[in-house]
Structure 1
Amino acid sequence: MTLRKTNPPRIVIVGAGAAGLNLATRLSRSLGRKKAAEITLVDENLTHMWKPSLHEYSVGTKGSDEEISLLEHSHRNRYNFRLGRFAGIDRDRCMVQLDPVNDLHNRPLAPLRSLPYDILVLAIGSRSNDFGTPGIKEHCLMLDTPTQAKRLQSELLNLFLRLETGALGKDHSTININIVGGGATGVELAAELREATEQLAHNGIDRLRDPGIVHIRIIEAAPRVLAALPEKVSKKVTRHLGELSVAVSVNARVQHVTSQEVHLADGTILPSTLTIWAAGIKAPEVVGTLSTLETGSLGRLKVRPTLQSTHDEKIYVIGDCAECFWPEKDGFLPPRAQVATQQAEFLEAQLTAHLAGKPLRNFHYIDRGSLVAISQEGAVAALMGKAIGTVTFEGWLARRAYNYLHFQHLSSVQGWLRAVVLTALGKAMRRVRPRLKLH
């Protein structure tokens, strides 16, 4: 009697962000290489950018050479990569539904199709929350995805070129850039943008040699920037922003936005050559179509302590799109990269136990603090622990700690040796190439 070989269980991960790519890499090295599972990663992009670095890509201080090719990465780590835009789930048939992906000329790259799964992991991240504010979709740029980061970089460079050549016209002697949202994204973008304008002044955009030409302002509805972090961190960051000539407006709620102005609820009208929206997050709109799964605040998918969705034990949810209860704070976990990373690490062992029919564990998050970059050589850090409490520090050491977070992520998805080589090469190349992407 010949025994029929059974196919390994299929684990499909949707989303190649910090959580999804990390998990796919880990599972491919453990379950995949042992043929204990077939790992498939799905994303609508061909490359991965670490989301906390999107503000650097958006102003050109990081270039496309630092992106990770998902095709190459999947081949090297022996998992499947499928190009597709997540559209929904057929839970009865255990199928992931994918919408088509087109190129810049609207030609199809990937058709409408479905993928079967035995275990599904949703790691589809988050999107900016416009809170229904009029004019946001029409007149603001966002910074949620690699595509949006590249568009913002192009828009900024073209704006400064038009200033230099006179194409803006005589009525535009200054540029006003308003960043709505004083969280980590808004603060880091403002600081990076100021540094980028200084670099552009040394690379042919002579008008930018006058520091008063470009006005950068953060608009925050809360009483202070970085309202979710300790007040000590907020005060230090506010001081550094002032040193960089970045204006900060707090207790300022945006009422509506036009092509040239930002209107505040108190009647203030701010001129705006370019408006960038970085105020709050919500789950991607596609989550709202998943009627058979339970959603919570900000449209995120509710999960059990095991990180399984509340209505389907075959579906796990991690990262920004998951609403996971945080017992220590009597609330929900924040949308941070360290949460996504810890969940990816946890889920590697969790899925191994799931496939083996062993009891599942509950996820426990350890808050190690926060880091906010305020220049290429500076940052503010707040480290947390039971033994030390909350310790804040800034400057060169904090920036090195910030860079180390990126190195940790790179090491988890590329391997330690490859991460060391890539980091060393990156430092060497920065000595011989422009500090900004100038095209």
Structure 2
Amino acid sequence: MHRLIVVGGGAGGLELATRLGDRYVSGKRRGSPRVQVTLVDRYPTHIWKPLLHEVAAGSMDPFTQELEYAAQARWHGFEFQQGELTGLDRAARRLTLASVMDDDGAELLPSRVLEYDTLVLAIGSTTHFFGVPGAAEYSLALDTVGQAERFRKRLIAACMRAEHQVHEPVENTLGGEAEVASSASASQALALATAEPRIQVAIVGGGATGVELSAELRNTAQVLSAYGLHKLDPRTDVGIVLIESGPRILPALQERVSSATTELLLKLGVKVMTGETVAQVAPGLVRTASGKTVRADLTVWAAGIKAPAILSQLDGLPVNRLGQLIVRPTLQTEIDDNIFALGDCAACPWPGTERNVPPRAQAAHQQASFLLKALACRLNDKPLPGFTYRDFGSLVSLGHFSAVGNLMGGVIGGSMLIEGLFARFMYMSLYRLHIAALHGYPRMVLDTFAHWLRRSTLPRVKLH
């Protein structure tokens, strides 16, 4: 029995474990190798990470979109082990999982050791604060459902407080009490002096996450007002500021996509600040390196990602400056043929460019499909092929207002800017393709229909 373990239940890891289980366990063909497939993740449920900005804005209820790993394992023939990866012994081919605790701090599962013959690491990425003072303490990241839900609840609370002029107490975790009090007072004074909106959300980072969240929040402000949770004017009383250190937002995409997106955001009343590097995040304030001060009742940090710290502690596996595992074109790590990596945690070369494969969901999907074939070669003692990334373009959602992006390569034979309803349809289809990869097309169609029925009987944003 060949023991194959996939660590990380994100878009790539879960798709790979599902398809491996279907091929070698559930739908085992005569003559196929005997394989035991195990998926490891620290959480019990999966949600497609590109949707977290919608969870944060309240336009998506995560509990209707989450998939339980144990159920997926039962349906597709693999095993699921919950726990966080804490150690690796490459010589013995063993990995260590931390114990799992419940909400009250009691142990649910003990620390365990799992043995493998082939290991695939797909543990994704985490927010990179770049050492900016106060960023980790006073801003919110959107790496998990819990973080997205925390922001959503704080946004609703801030709207209700602003209407009744109730000030939120500020936690003192960065400096002394005097510094916190002075920062809060300065924030209030700044708002009065400049006639700024009564609530202001600062989003640090003009990449896809920051742009998509800023548009979704404009819709959320309107819906919260319509349902009577506050009587603030959703356009003038709720301000949204997008701060980007580079000369334009969406720096990873073509300039024409960036320009089109900027115009759409400005029409939505989003203030876009480019060329401004954040130097400090304090309670109620964001300060830039140029000396500007931006009032911020809520601050979201979406300025960059890095690989989880555990990767640099895995028995000498080489990593780059972002902590990603350095892999060869076969997606095998540089010094161990038994260990593969995919997705955001892998620094995979992109032939024909001086860059690595970008950390996108489409890359993780392509790498999962590649590894399904490559692992079949490995199990049959055949040479492994090399991975080739195909860039099909990028799409950015601006909520129900619009979407914008570019289609590239194999889709149209060149590059084309798209926006509006067609771009919105293409963006929505990306998630549906992910569902199809996990459940098949018939169940994806049923899920789409069920989702439409739920939306017809529920408010457009989560109100509690």
TM-score band by shorter chain is: over 0.9
1:24 aligns with 2:17: yes
The one-letter amino acid paired with 2:460 is: R
The one-letter amino acid paired with 2:47 is: M
Give the corresponding residue for 1:15.
Answer: 8
The 5-angstrom pairing of residues 305-316 of structure 1 reads 305-316=329-340
In 2: Cα distance, 1:48 partner to 1:256 partner: 33
1:397 aligns with 2:422: yes
In 1: Cα distance, 2:359 partner to 2:105 partner: 33
Query: Is the 1:233–1:392 contact (alpha carbons within 8 Å) kept by the matching residues of 2?
Result: yes
Deviation at 1:59, TM superposition (A): 1.5
Mean CA deviation greater in 104-113 or 277-286: 104-113
Query: Is the 1:163–1:207 contact (alpha carbons within 8 Å) kept by the matching residues of 2?
Result: no
For residue 19 of structure 2, give the secondary structure of its aligned residue in structure 1.
Answer: helix
Per-residue CA shift, 1:86-127, capped at 9, x if unaligned?
Answer: 112111111111112222222223222111111100000011
Per-residue CA shift, 1:58-77, capped at 9, x if unaligned?
Answer: 11111111111112111111
Pick the aligned partner of 1:215 from 212, 219, 239: 239
In 1: Cα distance, 2:373 partner to 2:328 partner: 16
Give the corresponding residue for 1:176.
Answer: 200
Query: Is the 1:32–1:79 contact (alpha carbons within 8 Å) kept by the matching residues of 2?
Result: yes
Pick the aligned partner of 2:47 from 32, 49, 55: 49
The one-letter amino acid paired with 1:30 is: R
The one-letter amino acid paired with 2:372 is: E
The 5-angstrom pairing of residues 21-170 of structure 1 reads 21-33=14-26, 34=28, 36-63=34-61, 64-168=63-167
The one-letter amino acid paired with 2:56 is: S
Query: Is the 2:248–2:275 contact (alpha carbons within 8 Å) kept by the matching residues of 1?
Result: yes
Runs of 4+ in 1 over 4 A off after TM superposition: 169-173
In 1: Cα distance, 2:426 partner to 2:315 partner: 42
Pick the aligned partner of 1:205 from 219, 222, 229: 229
Deviation at 1:165, TM superposition (A): 4.6
The one-letter amino acid paired with 2:363 is: V
Deviation at 1:400, TM superposition (A): 0.3
In 1: Cα distance, 2:341 partner to 2:166 partner: 48
For residue 456 of structure 2, give the secondary structure of its aligned residue in structure 1.
Answer: coil
Query: Is the 1:44–1:83 contact (alpha carbons within 8 Å) kept by the matching residues of 2?
Result: yes
In 2: Cα distance, 1:87 partner to 1:24 partner: 21
The one-letter amino acid paired with 2:340 is: Y
Query: Is the 1:382–1:392 contact (alpha carbons within 8 Å) kept by the matching residues of 2?
Result: yes
Deviation at 1:166, TM superposition (A): 4.1
Per-residue CA shift, 1:135-189, capped at 9, x if unaligned?
Answer: 0111010011222222222222222233345433896871111000000010001
Q: TM (normalized to structure 1)?
A: 0.95
In 2: Cα distance, 1:76 partner to 1:161 partner: 44
- The verdict on how the C-alpha distance between 1:388 and 1:44 changes in structure 2, with shifts beyond 3 A counting, is same
In 1: Cα distance, 2:25 partner to 2:149 partner: 33
In 1: Cα distance, 2:442 partner to 2:398 partner: 29
Aligned length: 432
Query: Is the 1:164–1:205 contact (alpha carbons within 8 Å) kept by the matching residues of 2?
Result: no
The 5-angstrom pairing of residues 398-437 of structure 1 reads 398-437=423-462
Structure 2 unpaired stretches of 5+: 169-184, 192-196
Per-residue CA shift, 1:25-53, capped at 9, x if unaligned?
Answer: 11011012227311111111111110111
In 1: Cα distance, 2:118 partner to 2:163 partner: 55
For residue 316 of structure 1, give the secondary structure of its aligned residue in structure 2.
Answer: strand
Structure 1 unpaired stretches of 5+: 1-7
Q: CA RMSD in A?
A: 1.6
The one-letter amino acid paired with 1:53 is: L
